[in-house]
A and B are shown apart, each in its own frame.
Chain A
Amino acid sequence: MATSSSATLSKTVKQQYMDLPQGDKCQAMYLWIDGTGEGLRCKTRTLDFEPKSIDDLPEWNFDGSSTYQSEGSNSDMYLIPAAMFRDPFRKDPNKLVLCEVLKYNRKPAETNLRLTCNKVMEMVEDQIPWFGMEQEYTILGTDGHPFGWPSNGFPGPQGPYYCGVGADKAYGRDIVEAHYRACLYAGVEICGTNAEVMPAQWEFQVGPCEGINMGDHLWAARFILHRVCEDFGVVASFDPKPIPGNWNGAGCHTNFSTKEMREDGGLKAIEDSIEKLGKRHSYHIRAYDPKGGLDNARRLTGHHETSNINEFSAGVANRGASIRIPRQVGQEKKGYFEDRRPSANCDPYGVTEAMIRTCLLSEEGDEPVDY
């Protein structure tokens, strides 16, 4: 049974300690993205008060040489609090604090994509851009094999699992239920969940979020997912193609709209954006996974409800296209559109920034503009 040893530690004993009162003290857990651009790290400090807003939280620092982010000889890096959530593991008054990482010279770390994303979002604030991201993921045992799959083998082919119910269809629902509730408690904008096409694969959606909030809320939701899985002794993977062969990959479909698109006649603005996206396909592919497109190359094959990585396409209700316009939007002539290209392990700051640059700032060519 490939669940971790930690999961066998007595939770009754744990609860007795977790119920201890803590006086005026508050535990603030600082979270950040490490040098891989996908991994999350965390450490905690005690505060003598309950912070009411992000401004109450002090800057901190950490050893970047242990997170693939700096050399040992010059290892200090800064943590700048960016978004605060309630802590669903330690509960009130304790907090989770998502941070930006700065290098020793106060410039953004290589994998700190939030800084430029924020700049770009501020530039288009008046257009009220909304995002909704559909985070797919696969639950694995600590042996790396999908959770619930027979050891050294495979379940029956895809078909019955999507939105399924029953012990032979839904593998690991407890994780999804716990994660959903934890996100609601924390204040993350989680708007839904469903079982996915591959067994042991699930999806949750975060949104609608305006501007920079999309990245903040999705990263916080990912941290909560990893932490919930840790408690259960299993692993959540955002690998975009965890099992080669006739098994679905995992994406992070990104839904997007502006005020104009949401109002009557908005379909025109949607079509304009799609046309701009069509001219900048390779720039977006580079922004849509942490390896400049290499991860997505395993996933975007043109099969399994994906478009081919080499071509750009768009269509109403078409899940084999790069961009899908929902049927309802096609009919009401306003709403939003869905970019199906981002990989499950994408950086949402990078994805949302690319959307804004191309669609609203009308950038062209392979490089982003330095404003």
Chain B
Amino acid sequence: MPAMSLSSRLNKAVRQQYLNLPQGEKSQITYIWIDGTGEGLRNKTRTLDFEPKSLDEIPEWNFDGSSTYQSEGSNSDMYLIPVRMFRDPFTLDPNKLVLCEVLKYNRLPAETNHRASCMKVMEEIKEHCMWFGMEQEFTLLGIDGHPFSWPTNGFPRPQGPYYCGVGADSAYGRDIVECHYKACLFAGINIYGTNAEVMPSQWEFQVGPCEGIEMGDHLWVARFLLHRVCEDFGIIATLDPKPVQGNWNGAGCHTNVSTKQMREEGGLQYIEQAIDKLSKRHPQHIQMYDPSGGKDNMRRLTGLHETASIHEFSAGVANRGASIRIPRQVGQEKKGYFEDRRPAANCDPYAVTKIIASTCLLYSEDKEESM
């Protein structure tokens, strides 16, 4: 029996009988936030006497930050500020999921609240209509920490047949991906697509195109849905950027970027300008592309396994070994978008989109000091 949680063996038919009970006028609102690790998600639920139609109807709340690595016990209350609402694919209409920003006791943003500063940058560059699409890779693990469906204490055949594969010997855990996709569509997440990845038990979904602050909002909630779906099945999704050592791919969060100018005729010159600016700030970006200031990515960006080396910046058309890849089609049509392949799977999308927007649209060499 593979390593699945005991919870997943609780009788789901029994659960369904209860979840089918009508709830009258009440609605259940689940508040979601990012904890002190900058990677973990937390949630708690409250009852409202009505179905909220918009964000303004959802009250602020608070929580015990000393239990989420976010504050001391002696001064532990932290604020939850609702920022975006989605339908709840687990307990269904009229219930909601509400993504929140975290504020400290003094109403300043918590350390891992990168949304506040991201929002400021996105406001400043609004006229450029910057769109993002992020490709979230993840690996399925059993609760023993070994990749799901891998032989106990062993390894499957080497990489080759798994990418976009089909069949029980190539695709491990497709049910999770199928359910997550449907859950995202129901909730209102801008999910673009999915595919099986190069390492067995590794998958990817893409969120976008999203403008500005929406990218971070949609990706964080999509991640919450992923963890929650895996929980239902009794296994685990990890966003660790290098879950298995050796000749096995890592997991990234390739970030596709464009502005209005890049998408229009002759946009390629703006893409090239942006890449030039990015090339001058490689270490600053690496620092923001995982929650440990670049240490996580060191295990992943080796120059092998379709990554660029962490020490060098490079760019190229259709080149998956470069830091930045310009898609073939964009090279031909001379307009479109570019792909930054450096962000790790466990990056904070607010931090990533903020620094990309700043470097490409607000940076100049003499302004470096203030950035």
Interface residues of A (CB under 8 A from B): 3-14, 16-18, 20-23, 25, 27, 39-46, 61-63, 65-68, 72-76, 89-90, 104, 142, 223, 226-227, 229-230, 232-236
User: How far is A44 from B181 in the complex, measured between Cα atoms in Å?
Assistant: 10
User: How far is A67 from B198 in the complex, measured between Cα atoms in Å?
Assistant: 9
Q: Provided the pairs A67-B164, A72-B321 are in contact, do residues A17 and B89 lie with their beta carbons within 8 angstroms? A: yes
Of B98-106, B165-173, B279-287, B361-369, the one with at least 4 CB within 8 A of chain A: B165-173
Q: Chain A residues with Cβ under 8 A from B167's Cβ?
A: 226-227, 229-230, 235-236
Q: Which 6 A-B pairs have the closest CB atoms?
A: A43-B195, A17-B179, A41-B164, A66-B163, A76-B328, A45-B193
Instruction: Decide: B164 and A16 in contact? CB cutoff 8 A.
Output: no
Instruction: Decide: B318 and A74 in contact? CB cutoff 8 A.
Output: yes
The reply on B39 being an interface residue by CB < 8 A is no
User: How far is A236 from B180 in the complex, measured between Cα atoms in Å?
Assistant: 26
Q: Chain B residues with Cβ under 8 A from A43's Cβ?
A: 164, 193-196
- Known contacts A14-B178, A44-B195; 8 additional CB pairs below 8 A are A27-B181, A41-B166, A44-B193, A61-B327, A72-B306, A72-B319, A73-B316, A235-B167
Instruction: Decide: A21 and B174 in contact? CB cutoff 8 A.
Output: no
Instruction: Decide: A14 and B175 in contact? CB cutoff 8 A.
Output: yes
Q: Provided the pairs A44-B181, A61-B328, A104-B318 are in contact, do residues A230 and B195 lie with their beta carbons within 8 angstroms? A: no
Q: Chain B residues with Cβ under 8 A from A22's Cβ?
A: 182, 185-186
- Give the total of B residues in contact with A, Cβ under 8 Å: 55
Q: Which of A4, A9, A12, A42 contacts B168 (CB 8 A)?
A: A4
Q: Digitize B94-117: 1 where CB-to-A-CB distance is under 8 Å, 0 elsewhere.
A: 000000000000000000000000
The reply on B248 being an interface residue by CB < 8 A is no
Of B8-16, B75-83, B343-351, the one with at least 4 CB within 8 A of chain A: B8-16
Q: Chain B residues with Cβ under 8 A from A13's Cβ?
A: 8, 12, 179, 232-233
Instruction: Decide: B319 and A18 in contact? CB cutoff 8 A.
Output: no
Chain A residue with Cβ nearest B316: A73
Instruction: Decide: B168 and A230 in contact? CB cutoff 8 A.
Output: yes
Kindly provide the distance from the CB of A3 to the nearest chain B CB, expressed in whole angstroms. 7
| Chain B, 199-233, CB within 8 A of any chain A CB | 229, 232-233
The reply on B320 being an interface residue by CB < 8 A is yes
Q: Which of B2, B168, B329 contacts A234 (CB 8 A)?
A: B168
Q: Chain B residues with Cβ under 8 A from A21's Cβ?
A: 186
Instruction: Decide: B12 and A16 in contact? CB cutoff 8 A.
Output: yes
Instruction: Decide: A4 and B186 in contact? CB cutoff 8 A.
Output: no
Q: Chain B residues with Cβ under 8 A from A11's Cβ?
A: 175
User: How far is A9 from B198 in the complex, measured between Cα atoms in Å?
Assistant: 22
Kindly provide the distance from the CB of B344 to the nearest chain A CB, expressed in whole angstroms. 19
Q: Chain A residues with Cβ under 8 A from B319's Cβ?
A: 72-75
Most chain A CB within a 10 A radius of its CB, from B164, B186, B234? B164
Instruction: Decide: A44 and B168 in contact? CB cutoff 8 A.
Output: no
User: How far is A226 from B168 in the complex, measured between Cα atoms in Å?
Assistant: 8
